[in-house]
């Protein structure tokens, strides 16, 4: 069966996604060893901290690089992630029925990012900043910064860890395992998704693409 495909994510976006994901997963795991007493032996002699810092540098550099390479795309992504309207509320209300029961009659048509993806962007940006600021203070201010500040930075880092960790599970699950998200994985692996899938999941975006006013992949 011949079927038409449309490009969802371009190659640079995909590369950036995967490097950033890799860095985050490493940061998550090397942070987790301090969280689980039974794993703390892995952190002895600070090796996990060294790995954590290398990954942290990549984690910071990648978005900056993206901003330099394609500021317009970053701007579009941020704008979408921080613009919330009635449709998003509708989506959030209809989402449980859709994701559990496959009932999509109340799901409003979505742009290139659906409301859930916008939420993920939003959380990534907000908690990414919290991670980076608290991390930099702990990295470079350990001997200089006031102790109370350092204590609160650990706290902030931990809260961000829990929120983003839970969201990471959700993100991986929706991207790889959910029975309805059959092509989410493809969109970030090869970049292309079928037209049917695009219409179904990103109706508004597909219309724009079809009209030729292609909103470039974010």
Task: State the nearest-atom distance from the C-beta of 113 to other proteins, in Å.
Answer: 21
Nearer to other proteins, 4 or 100 (CB): 100
Query: Least distance (Å) from other proteins to the CB of residue 104?
Result: 11
DSSP-based three-state secondary structure for 5: strand
* CB 127, min distance to other proteins, A: 14
Q: Nearer to other proteins by C-beta: 93 or 178?
A: 178
The contacts of residue 173 (CB under 8 Å, 6+ apart) are: none
Q: Please, are residues 19 and 65 in contact by the beta-carbon 8 Å criterion?
A: no
Q: Which is nearer to other proteins, 53 or 186 (CB)?
A: 53
- If the CB atoms of residues 44 and 211 are measured against other proteins, the closer one turns out to be 44
CB 31 within 8 A of CB 161: yes
Which residue ranges make up the site for other proteins (CB under 8 A)? 34-35, 37, 40-41, 43-46, 48-50, 52-53, 99-102, 138-140, 142-143, 147-148, 150-152, 154-155, 158-159, 161-163, 165-166, 169-170, 173, 177-180
Least Cβ distance, residue 77 to other proteins (angstroms): 24
34 CB contacts (<8 Å, ≥6 apart)?
40, 43, 48
Phi then psi for residue 7, to 5 deg, are -80, 125
Q: Which string of b and e fits 178-189 if b means at least 16 CB within 10 Å?
A: eeebebbebbbe
Phi, psi of 193 (to 5 degrees): -130, 160
Q: Smallest distance, Å, CB 200 to other proteins?
A: 13
**Nearer Cβ to other proteins (89/176):** 176
Quote the tokens at residue 197: 């899938």
């Amino acid at each position: 069966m011949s079927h038409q495909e449309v490009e969802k994510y371009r190659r640079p976006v995909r590369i950036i996604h995967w490097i950033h994901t890799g860095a985050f997963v490493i940061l998550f795991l090397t942070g987790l060893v301090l969280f689980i007493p039974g794993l703390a032996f892995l952190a002895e002699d600070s090796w996990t901290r060294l790995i954590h810092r290398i990954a942290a540098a990549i984690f910071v550099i990648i978005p900056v690089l993206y901003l330099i390479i394609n500021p317009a795309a970053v701007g579009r992504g941020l704008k979408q992630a921080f613009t919330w309207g009635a449709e998003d509320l509708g989506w959030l209300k209809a989402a449980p029925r859709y994701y559990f029961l496959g009932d999509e009659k109340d799901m409003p048509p979505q742009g290139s990012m659906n409301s859930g993806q916008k939420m993920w962007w939003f959380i990534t940006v907000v908690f990414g900043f919290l991670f980076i600021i608290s991390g930099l203070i702990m990295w470079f201010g350990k001997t200089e910064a006031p102790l109370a500040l350092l204590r609160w930075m650990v706290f902030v880092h931990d809260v961000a860890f829990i929120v983003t960790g839970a969201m990471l599970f959700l993100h991986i699950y929706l991207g790889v395992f959910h029975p309805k998200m059959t092509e989410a994985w493809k969109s970030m692996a090869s970049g292309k998704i079928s037209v049917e899938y695009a219409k179904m999941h990103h109706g508004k975006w597909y219309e724009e693409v079809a009209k030729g006013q292609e909103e470039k992949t974010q």
